[in-house]
Structure 1
Amino acid sequence: MGGFGPVARPDAPLARRNPVAKLAAALVFSIVLIATLDPVAPAIAIAVELAVLPLFGVHPRVLLRRAWPLLLSAAGIVVTLVLFAADRSGRVLVEAGPVVVTSGVLLTALGLVLRVFAVALPGVIVFATTDPTDLADALVQNAKAPARFAIGALAAFRLVPLLGHEWQMIAMARRARGVDAGRNPVARLRLFASTGFALLVGAIRRGTRLAVAMDARGFDAGTPRTVARRQRFGPADAALVAGATALALAAITASVLLGTFRPLIS
């Protein structure tokens, strides 16, 4: 079972930064890229993210293992636009009955796919280099988040790996009772939906028990809480946030300039 804890080298320069600083840098870097549909800005952003990956101490193989669901999202975006895009401008590349693939459709799909990767990869890198307990401590100390929210988020984050284990247990229990879809795709889909519903019910029950247990231990008390581990926000952490902001603005500026000079170049 793979967890969601840090998998980076702890001695990497940017992996040692404050969790709130890393989270703020990722949010700033991602939110700025949402403002453009041009593929240039997210392409530059992805190049920057891959370039600073060694500074976070994350191996590319680890990043690929954690970010592979993005590939499914990219495939879904391309298929959806190819089938249902309203704008079919540009040169026709493929025409097969009702399916018409144009250069405009592919350019739009490329921009959306690159933007999905550019927005999601910073979050993947942050959580791959941050201990959940350190993140909760930093949210309370540096971001002044409510302790109940931070500790509740930490508890939920710790329970996420159990979902995969429970899915396997439910599937094995049903197989032991003779419930198997075989090669029937409809039966497979029905079994998948019922397993997901059983997993959802179990997760809600566990969350309810956890909430009651936390309230019973005083997590909902209004008294100030003490801090066991100090999370300091220093000049290097502020420089990380400022650098992420500058890089995101530089990517947007390059996209705007390229869009301005593109008619002159063509």
Structure 2
Amino acid sequence: MKFIYHDNDSFLNRLNPLSTVFAALPFFTLLCFINSIWPPIAFIVLNVFIIFALGKVPLTTFFKLSIPVIILSLSLFVFYLLGARPELTAGSPVLFTIGALNIYQASFMAGVAIALRIYALLLFSFPFVLTTEPSNFIRSLIQNLKIPYRFSYGVLVAFRFVPMMETEFNVIRSAHKVMGISEKKEFKVILKK
């Protein structure tokens, strides 16, 4: 797990890290109670503007982080299509049929609304994640919210420890490849050598 923080001299980088969190909270809360497709689309456009214009985040970094969120949203859309409650689809016209499976207009619209809402909700974390260095965030928690420094520095150590462990794991994996031990071999085969 490498940090996705993008270091540049953007407006969002210069802000207090807590302000990026607290600025997103009203939109996040509002989006939790909306079940239409238009407000999430508006919030997605607003957030993309904030990320690119105010955060100056490269397009490749944004898409690299956005792909898992899009996959999650699309899978929720498909689950909503296939598993909609009968009360939701009662009286709704059938959009199309796949074998014995009927896809109803109501389940399609509900799936689109849920997928857009989940994508918009997760997208609200991007300005914080992409433009906030973790140690600045921890220092901000200590200074502004008076979080105990023992807890905060423990979290900071954990943030620093995870990438170091990933690097060490990759070194061990590379050493195993050099010694001829592949990842696909079972544990019993490794013990026999």
State the TM-score, normalized to the length of structure 2.
Answer: 0.79
For the residue of structure 2 that corresponds to 1:110, the secondary structure is helix
| Structure 1 residues 99 and 126: alpha-carbon distance in aligned structure 2, compared to 1, 3 A threshold | same
Runs of 4+ in 1 over 3 A off after TM superposition: 159-179
Equivalence for 2:78: 79
Residues 139-178 of structure 1: pairs in structure 2 closer than 5 A: 139-162=141-164, 164-165=166-167, 173=176, 176-177=180-181
Equivalence for 1:57: 56
Unaligned regions of 5+ residues in structure 2, if any?
Answer: 188-193
Matched, 1:21 2:19: yes
Unaligned regions of 5+ residues in structure 1, if any?
Answer: 182-190, 195-266
**Aligned residues of 1:82 and 1:100 also touching (Cα < 8 A):** no
The separation in 2 between residues aligned to 1:15 and 1:32, in whole angstroms, is 25
For the residue of structure 1 that corresponds to 2:89, the secondary structure is coil
Matched, 1:88 2:89: yes
The separation in 1 between residues aligned to 2:129 and 2:183, in whole angstroms, is 37
Equivalence for 1:212: none
The CA deviation string for residues 175-232 of structure 1, in whole angstroms up to 9 with x for no partner, is: 9445528xxxxxxxxx9xx9xxxxxxxxxxxxxxxxxxxxxxxxxxxxxxxxxxxxxx
| Structure 1 residues 147 and 81: alpha-carbon distance in aligned structure 2, compared to 1, 3 A threshold | same
Alignment size in residue pairs: 181
The separation in 2 between residues aligned to 1:4 and 1:23, in whole angstroms, is 17
For the residue of structure 2 that corresponds to 1:100, the secondary structure is strand
**Aligned residues of 1:70 and 1:117 also touching (Cα < 8 A):** yes
Equivalence for 1:110: 112
How far residue 5 of structure 1 moved from its aligned partner, in angstroms, is 4.9
Matched, 1:133 2:135: yes
- What is the root-mean-square deviation of aligned Cα atoms in Å? 2.7
**Aligned residues of 2:12 and 2:127 also touching (Cα < 8 A):** no
**Aligned residues of 2:20 and 2:127 also touching (Cα < 8 A):** no
Residues 173-192 of structure 1: pairs in structure 2 closer than 5 A: 173=176, 176-177=180-181, 180=184
**Aligned residues of 1:15 and 1:57 also touching (Cα < 8 A):** no
Residues 224-239 of structure 1: pairs in structure 2 closer than 5 A: none
- Identity within the alignment, %: 24
The separation in 2 between residues aligned to 1:15 and 1:58, in whole angstroms, is 10
The separation in 2 between residues aligned to 1:170 and 1:94, in whole angstroms, is 52
State the TM-score, normalized to the length of structure 1.
Answer: 0.59
| Structure 1 residues 65 and 95: alpha-carbon distance in aligned structure 2, compared to 1, 3 A threshold | same
For the residue of structure 2 that corresponds to 1:52, the secondary structure is helix
**Aligned residues of 2:89 and 2:106 also touching (Cα < 8 A):** yes
| Structure 1 residues 95 and 77: alpha-carbon distance in aligned structure 2, compared to 1, 3 A threshold | same
**Aligned residues of 1:58 and 1:128 also touching (Cα < 8 A):** yes
